[in-house]
Amino acid sequence: MLDSVEGIVITETPYGDTSKIINVLTKEYGIIGIICKGAMSIKSRLRSVTMKLSYGIFNIYYKKGKLSTLVSVDIKNNFKNIRSDILLISYASYLTDLIHQVLKQTDDIAIYDDYINSLLKIEEGLDPMVITNILEVKLLEYLGVGLNLTSCISCGNKKEIVTLASERGGLICKNCYHGERIVPLSIIKTLNMYYLVDIKSISKLSLKEDIVKEINNFLINYYDDYTGLYLKSKDFLKTIEKL
């Protein structure tokens, strides 16, 4: 029976001479494998709609726990702006790889909406670093290392917070402070905003460049120290950002 599911291609692998197998993150079933017969052929109508980041309605013969078979794809957004910019495609590739890893830890489909909305906001022209950091903050909870942005990581005190230290895993109050680098309270407030904001509702971003960079550096260190994830796409993104 033909089934129609919303989803986005997160990986693609050649299969035989002319076909490919794609992994699609779907709203209905999570990640599913789909065989795309003849999709590697130059003349195939499936060729352009089965590339990584193809986002749309996938019309398939669904087989639970097995490879489904693709019939056609109705594209919702081809991410034209992202695909035409090496920096934006680097952010999108990193977020896709990150989501793939997070979904190995949880099957919470709420992640799907945050991921898709992040890509859509980057496509619309919003700052890719800020959008990426917002999604990174939200994903920490699913990885079991969520940020505590309400009280001291050592004693639980909610008052007299003096800094945020990635090496200690959160906020530090005056009594527990041991010489860590002082992070302005504006950084802490912005991080908390990142955690609480609905990505879909963001229409514009008005943040100071120094705050954006400070938070990005904090999250790089925090992910390195606490998640155990190593993604080549992140290293590539760091290289592109320096150009």
Residue 169, class by beta-carbon neighbours within 10 Å (0-12 exposed, 13-18 middle, 19+ buried)?
middle
Q: What is the pLDDT of residue 64?
A: 92
Rounded to two decimals, what is the model's pTM? Answer: 0.93
Percentage of the chain surpassing pLDDT 70? Answer: 100
Residues with Cβ within 8 Å of 159's Cβ and at least 6 positions away in sequence, in order, are: 173
Give me the CATH code for the 81-242 domain, please: 1.20.1440.120
Q: What is the pLDDT of residue 121?
A: 98
Average confidence (pLDDT) over 73-90: 96
- What is d(CA 5, CA 74) in angstroms, rounded to the nearest whole number? 10
Delimiting residues of CATH 1.20.1440.120 domain(s) in the chain: 81-242
Q: What is the pLDDT of residue 206?
A: 92
Q: Could you tell me if 58 and 24 are in contact, meaning their C-beta atoms sit under 8 angstroms apart?
A: yes
Q: Could you tell me if 212 and 129 are in contact, meaning their C-beta atoms sit under 8 angstroms apart?
A: yes
Position 47 pLDDT exceeds 90: yes
Q: How far is CA 49 from CA 116, 122, 125, 160, 234, in A?
A: 17, 20, 23, 54, 25
Q: What is the pLDDT of residue 79?
A: 97
The answer to whether domain 2-78 has CATH 3.30.70.660 is: no
* Residue 201 in tokens: 């509702």
* Residue 163 in tokens: 């800094």
pLDDT band for position 55 (cuts 50, 70, 90): very high
pLDDT band for position 148 (cuts 50, 70, 90): confident
* Residue 194 in tokens: 């990142």
Delimiting residues of CATH 2.40.50.140 domain(s) in the chain: 2-78
